[in-house]
Structure 1
Amino acid sequence: MGVGAALATQDPPRTPPLFLGYKGAGWVWGGSGPVAGAVRRSGSQSLVAPSWEGCSCAGSATLPGEMQRAKKGILERLDAGEIVIGDGGFVIALEKRGYVKAGPWTPEAAVEHPEAVRQLHREFLRAGSNVLQTFTFYASEDKLENRGNYVAETISCKTVNEAACDIAKEVAKEGDALVAGGVSQTPSYLSGKDEAEVKAIFRKQLEVFAKKNVDFLIAEYFEHVEEAAWAVETLKESGKPVAVTMCIGPEGDLHGVPPGKCAVQLVKAGACIVGVNCHFDPETCLRTVKLMKEGLEAANLKAHLMSQPLAFHTPDCGKQGFIDLPEFPFALEPRIVTRWDVQKYAREAYKLGIRYIGGCCGFEPYHIRAIAEELAPERGFLPPASEKHGSWGNALSMHTKPWVRARARKEYWENLLPASGRPYCPSMSKPDDWGVTKGAAELMQQKESTTEQQLKELFEKQKFKSNIVA
């Protein structure tokens, strides 16, 4: 039975009940007003919650099924020690749903299929996201016209970015969420363009974010700290708070700059939130953020920490991350992290001092819900989506099969080692590791489509670099 059903016979609450913790097989709720000591029934047990004391989130507690409008800015929340939950991955999720093309990974779906983008935003909001990022990943003008992609010509960079902002703002009004306008690394930088040219690319997106008055800005998915710093400096022109995440591992950026030095450079450029996103799994990303934290402490600099990793296990990845794996992007499913993996990630991130915790590629709404549920004791409330999810699988107690009912407990899921069901597949892969970065001939970008001759040359090189034979 959901919380809403448990309270159905009572008058509408004036004060939402607060999440108190876990007891037996159910969520425990309490609070003041007409729903104080609300009863949550699970099986034959009636769980009566004591009153909640000392919860810093009490004023913003939310009853599943209803949400409040955001009132506090990102820095106000983080400065107060609140946990901010980000959203998950968009391009991979929407590619699987048939709205994004793998290869360019550009976000014209905001114009062509706004209902799909809107629905994914809503699912993340329902799962517990406090921040909705505009669907503007790879929405720079040079990316929208790269290698035969004619979105910049047929739709326009401005139109894509405006549509993405409008959708995110529309959904954010339905709950307690902020809107973050985002930029990412550019083909121009990889092709050797200078600082002024790259910043001009970012500025075109920034003009839209300023016009749409987003709450703050994120520079995400940068492999080189130099370009990330240029992005931060450009976004700071808006006067709004700037967060920045690099898609690097413990080895540092693709020019060999260690994570600690990357963090220092980015804070000096003007970022107030620093961290990592994409390319690596939660465990690897946390190791990288730890190095960033240590670098900032050594330099006597302060910034809030942020983590938005992949939802794929990547213990075999090199410096380039998951895009070096032979399985990228169409055979990554065996690597997907479970909701229980994500709960562990959320707890470890919190222990590390990270207070902006979300996900990137592969993170679905149920993964975000896992973050919100794991950190519910600290936050004082659960997301609406938890109304349809039992604590550590306790709703399996309602299953018809007895052996499945026996799995309705934390100990079972915490200790399970999931099998892949693929007896002839290796547990690890050999990354391609071509070792190319900014300035390499293969990374020089072009407006025209990749030619057959260019592809043939790449196929030949792959025979020597990959364990996959063409």
Structure 2
Amino acid sequence: MSKLESLLSRRGALLADGAFGTNLFDMGLVSGDAPELWNTDEPEKIKALHRSFVQAGADIILTNTFGCNRHRLKLHAAEERVNELNSLGVQLAREVCEETDREILIAGSIGPTGELFQPLGALSYQEGVEAFREQIEGLRDGGADILWAETMSAVEEMKAVAEAASEFDLPLVITASFDTAGKTMMGLAPANLGELQNQFACTPAAIGSNCGVGASDLLAAILEITDAYPDAIVVAKANCGIPQIQGDEVVYTGTPELMAKYAHMAMDVGARIIGGCCGTSPSHLAAMRRALDDHKPGPRPTLETMISEIGPLVSPPNKKADAARAESEAAGVGRRRGRRRS
């Protein structure tokens, strides 16, 4: 049994941490700079953010390594520092965890490569696997407890990270961002994420959703996943309310009270690992901690209940487009069958 499975079996549900990028901007990170370089340039600030989430009650903290693969780092002339920056990202988190007697798991954050896979782009599948393998080696060397692939969109990329992870004795979590009319940018529906598990080189310990748009949209995705796969360990890591552009800034509207409601609903809809993404501060996370600790199971919420309690969907499903796509695919099947018969 992995550390993740063991902690889940003892606690029932776990609280993951809050936002990294948006909080680092408040700490002085400049747009366009690589947050991962702060692992060496501003290590005390990285530790301070980890510490604030631990003090808020997080059971899982993600490392400052989201864009720490060779393809993203080459934009900052740091592609030769993959192992160093990933390993150090874990070590900084470990130093904070050792300040407390409470058991806290360190999840090595793995984001997308930033490249399009063939045939849409230039990156081959094997190049993707190698980039993820290189990053995972650094996370392993630093002492990560979990591999945490997040904000994924393309099926090929998820398969590539799973193949790379299959070479390491660490549990893998995969979360996707369903931010485009209820699907990922590359067209994957929430329920289909569960179907992919049988196609991965290793079976994820948990699946789910993070980031995206509003908290209601994320809960709608979790509702679909848990409907289709009620026995799966599901992760819900929503943005803090709804993002709004105010001048040159993106501001997230969620209050601690709203994020507490979201945490209650996420548990009732079947999520067992709950956290916050963009805009989620330590004060939001502390409210979510109290919500998890005080939670009394309620009825499984409907989409209408979620919208009523949390707010409207920012990117509702495009049912007309889905119907048209299904009709087109059905017609294509008919035409192909006709050709086979002739």
**Scaled by the length of structure 2, what TM-score is found?**
0.79
CA 1:328–1:218: 2 relative to 1, 3 Å:
farther
- Which residue of 1 is the match for residue 19 of structure 2? 89
Letter in 2 for 1:78: L
Instruction: Spell out the pairing of 1:60-459 with structure 2 (5 A cutoff).
Output: 73-80=3-10, 82-98=12-28, 100-103=29-32, 105-146=34-75, 149-152=76-79, 156-175=81-100, 176-189=103-116, 191-249=121-179, 251-266=182-197, 268-269=199-200, 270-297=203-230, 302-313=231-242, 327=245, 330-333=248-251, 335-378=252-295
C-alpha distance after superposition, 1:331-355 (max 9, x if no partner)? 222x420000011001000101111
| 8 A contact 1:141–1:201 mirrored in 2 | yes
Structure 2 distance, partners of 1:304, 1:329, is: 40
Structure 2 distance, partners of 1:105, 1:429, is: 28
Displacement, 1:234? Answer: 1.4
- Which residue of 2 is the match for residue 448 of structure 1? none
Displacement, 1:268? Answer: 4.3
Displacement, 1:361? Answer: 1.3
CA 1:170–1:195: 2 relative to 1, 3 Å:
same
| 8 A contact 1:310–1:361 mirrored in 2 | yes
C-alpha distance after superposition, 1:34-91 (max 9, x if no partner)? xxxxxxxxxxxxxxxxxxxxxxxxxxxxxxxxxxxxxx81111224562110001111
Secondary structure, in 3 states, of the residue corresponding to 1:203?
A: helix
Secondary structure, in 3 states, of the residue corresponding to 2:12?
A: coil
C-alpha distance after superposition, 1:102-148 (max 9, x if no partner)? 235541111100000000000000001001111101111110112xx
Displacement, 1:192? Answer: 3.1
Structure 2 distance, partners of 1:152, 1:234, is: 18
Displacement, 1:376? Answer: 1.5
Structure 2 distance, partners of 1:294, 1:234, is: 29
Displacement, 1:232? Answer: 2.1
Secondary structure, in 3 states, of the residue corresponding to 1:238?
A: coil
Gaps of at least 5 residues in structure 1 are 1-71, 315-324, 380-414, 418-426, 431-470
Gaps of at least 5 residues in structure 2 are 297-307, 316-342
Structure 2 distance, partners of 1:151, 1:85, is: 33
Structure 2 distance, partners of 1:106, 1:310, is: 19
- Which residue of 1 is the match for residue 327 of structure 2? none
Letter in 2 for 1:75: E
Secondary structure, in 3 states, of the residue corresponding to 2:209?
A: strand
| 8 A contact 2:69–2:132 mirrored in 1 | yes
| 8 A contact 1:182–1:218 mirrored in 2 | yes
Displacement, 1:378? Answer: 4.8
Secondary structure, in 3 states, of the residue corresponding to 1:274?
A: strand
CA 1:429–1:294: 2 relative to 1, 3 Å:
closer
Structure 2 distance, partners of 1:207, 1:362, is: 30
- Residue correspondences, number: 295
Secondary structure, in 3 states, of the residue corresponding to 1:363?
A: coil
| 8 A contact 1:278–1:308 mirrored in 2 | yes
| 8 A contact 1:81–1:355 mirrored in 2 | no
CA 1:330–1:235: 2 relative to 1, 3 Å:
farther
Structure 2 distance, partners of 1:416, 1:185, is: 32
Secondary structure, in 3 states, of the residue corresponding to 1:102?
A: coil
Structure 2 distance, partners of 1:235, 1:125, is: 27
Percent identity of the aligned residues?
A: 23
Secondary structure, in 3 states, of the residue corresponding to 2:140?
A: helix
Structure 2 distance, partners of 1:274, 1:416, is: 25
Structure 2 distance, partners of 1:255, 1:339, is: 32
Structure 1 distance, partners of 2:194, 2:248, is: 32
Letter in 1 for 2:288: I
Structure showing greater radius of gyration is 1
